[in-house]
Amino acid sequence: MVKATDNTDQYASYSFIFVYPDDKNWDKYLEMCFEYLNESWSKVFSDKRIMKDYEKQLKERFFQKNRYFLFLKKRNKTVGLANLYFHEDSLFVAEYYIVPDERRQKTGYKSFLNIIRWAKDKAKNIKIEVDKDLENANNFWLSFNCTLDNLGKRNVYIIMLS
């Protein structure tokens, strides 16, 4: 489990654990992924059969290396998930989800600060692509001191780590 480095830090109760395709948390991770995908793209991910294909893709990506699946924790309670991967000098956020009852409480923000701390010695920046019509997600990523590239089909947020 990765925790904030300073126990007096106001974010010390936030942490994350790594989830692997062959461990006991994998099925719970997939369930939460389905919640996230169904919530954000209900027309595409409403069929559970699609999730079997999605699970296969996740496993393939994991075994290609540099892919990390995380459960986000608040006082040891699972409050969300992240799907991250490294490419060149960047850490990409493929998915980031906070359960509904933890939203608007800074849980997502404080949890992501721990990911930033973890990534600082591994990447130069963090990149997040977000569909332009997902207003809440776009507002969330803007809360980090980041650069926005909105010229393409999706918004791309870049958080510099150095």
The domain limits of the chain are 2-160
What's the average model confidence in pLDDT over 38-46? 65
pLDDT digits (tens, 9 = 90+) for 137-152: 999 999 998 999 988 8
Distances (CA, A) of 34 to 10, 31, 55, 116: 31, 5, 10, 25
- pTM recorded for the entire structure: 0.85
Q: Is the pLDDT of residue 49 over 90?
A: no
Fold type of domain 2-160: Aminopeptidase (3.40.630)
